[in-house]
Structure 1
Amino acid sequence: MDHKFLLDFLRNLAANNHKAWMDEHRADYHRARAVFSGLVQQVLTGTQRFEPELLGLTVPETMFRINKNDRFQQSNEPYKRHMGASLTQGGRHAPRAGYFLAVQPGGQTWIGAGKWHPEPAALARIRQEVHYNGAAFHEIRQHAEFQQHFPDGLEGDKLQRPPKGYDKDDPDIEWLKLKDFVVTRSFTDAEVRRPDFADRVVETFQVAQPFVRFLNEALDAPE
């Protein structure tokens, strides 16, 4: 699988991020997207072996468009500088915790697991589960293998003050302030070009499964 071509295309796109260039290199775009689709298929197939929630999910349901969404556009560039996919039950836009993959040159390829920007009701459920079942939450995040794959721990936005209904002296208050429950890991371009890159992604996703399961059990909890 030609991951080098994928990285080279994305690097060239970043340097020529406008519609005229994309129109001229449309064939290269389709070739690069096919390479990324093949990578996602490898990762999805491997992840489905241990994650039953993803059974039946297809690659087209996971992949994001390369066109920027105007609601989140922070520059005049019409295209993202990466190709991304969300391996989540129900597809890329489903309100579940899941697994994420984004390939971007310059050492900015990353994979992740968890739930990014949950809706208020979903965030409340996750916080409640952390509050009620903190021992299980900490056992997952402090597991040696988990920390090895995700040395930066949980990332994302955080409230400045305790969320409504929680005491500032709660021993887990810093975790309850989180607005995102996500862990990520980055890869160099050389690592992405390795023939075992998909296997390494799957290995990391398997390490993250207890974390994803904890979040989805919280989301599934009755009112």
Structure 2
Amino acid sequence: MTLAFLLDFLRELAANNHKSWMDANRAEYHRARAVFRELVEGVLQGVQDFEPEMRSLTANDTMYRINKNDRFQQSDEPYKRHMGAGMTRGGRHAPWAGYFLAIEPGDSWIGVGKWHPESAGLARIRQEIHYNSEVFHQMRQDADLLRHFPAGLEGERLQRPPKGYDKNDPDLEWLKLKDFTVFKSFSDADVLHPDFVKIVVADLRAGQPLVQFLNQALAEE
């Protein structure tokens, strides 16, 4: 696996982010994507060892397009500066919590959880936190989770209490969350380390209780 080639390609893309350059370098793009696919295959195999419900997934089921095509992209550049994958039950666009990987020179990262759940799912997660706060706090304060993701649970928050919750609720700051995620960043040297896949899989495994908590909430009607 030539991850150095992938990083080099993404650096060049960041410096030449327009269609004419991509058209002229299409062969290099496909080679870089093949390298990323191999990386995802290794990580996905590790995730499938502790997430049996994902064993039917292939790397192609998890990999995002490099074209910018959603409302969250603020730049007018046509291509993302990273390659990413979302390992969730049902594939990258499924509504479940899961495991995420992005490779970008100087800004690679992994994430676990659920980012921007739709409104019904968000309401179910808040309800689960409210009804099972002891389980929630044990999960988010778990020593193994915090060893791998020292910043802990984080995400965008509402300014005011969500509808239906009291401003004096002891869990208000957690109920205000709009995202339920943990993240870890990696340097380019980390990405090029021969044990990078093993390190990533170990990190993601530590986040499994968060995924289980969120998916239990999302599955409830």
Corresponding position of 1:138? 137
Corresponding position of 1:65? 65
Corresponding position of 1:78? 78
Q: CA deviation at 1:53?
A: 2.0
Q: CA deviation at 1:24?
A: 1.2
Report Cα offsets for 1:61-115 as digits up to 9, x if no partner: 1000001115333222110000000000111100000100000001x10000101
Q: Measure, in 2, the Cα distance between the counterparts of 1:156 and 1:14.
A: 27
Q: Measure, in 2, the Cα distance between the counterparts of 1:214 and 1:70.
A: 28
Q: State yes or no: 1:153 paired with 2:155.
A: no
Q: Measure, in 1, the Cα distance between the counterparts of 2:95 and 2:185.
A: 24
Quickly say closer, same or farther: Cα 1:70–1:137, change in 2 above 3 A.
closer
Report Cα offsets for 1:111-133 as digits up to 9, x if no partner: 00101100110000000001111
Map 1:115-130 → 2, pairs under 5 A: 115-130=114-129
Q: Measure, in 2, the Cα distance between the counterparts of 1:140 and 1:70.
A: 32
For this pair of structures, how many residues does the alignment match?
221
Q: Measure, in 2, the Cα distance between the counterparts of 1:113 and 1:73.
A: 21
Q: Measure, in 2, the Cα distance between the counterparts of 1:145 and 1:90.
A: 27
Corresponding position of 2:49? 49
Corresponding position of 2:185? 186
Q: Measure, in 1, the Cα distance between the counterparts of 2:72 and 2:45.
A: 31
TM-score (norm 1): 0.97
Amino acid at match of 2:127: Q
Structure 1, gaps ≥5 residues long: none
% identity of equivalent residues: 68
Amino acid at match of 2:101: L
Amino acid at match of 1:169: N
**CA RMSD between the two structures:** 0.9
Q: Measure, in 1, the Cα distance between the counterparts of 2:41 and 2:218.
A: 27
Structure 2, gaps ≥5 residues long: none
Q: Secondary structure at the match of 1:136?
A: helix
Corresponding position of 1:23? 23
Amino acid at match of 1:86: G
Amino acid at match of 1:182: T
Q: Measure, in 2, the Cα distance between the counterparts of 1:74 and 1:21.
A: 21
Map 1:161-200 → 2, pairs under 5 A: 161-200=160-199
Corresponding position of 1:220? 219
Q: Measure, in 1, the Cα distance between the counterparts of 2:105 and 2:191.
A: 9
Q: Measure, in 2, the Cα distance between the counterparts of 1:169 and 1:55.
A: 43
Report Cα offsets for 1:22-46 as digits up to 9, x if no partner: 1111111111100000000000001
Greater Cα shift, 140-149 or 117-126? 140-149
TM-score (norm 2): 0.98
Q: CA deviation at 1:155?
A: 2.0
Q: CA deviation at 1:55?
A: 1.4
Q: Measure, in 1, the Cα distance between the counterparts of 2:7 and 2:170.
A: 44
Quickly say closer, same or farther: Cα 1:55–1:70, change in 2 above 3 A.
closer
Q: Secondary structure at the match of 1:86?
A: strand
Amino acid at match of 2:13: L
Amino acid at match of 1:205: L
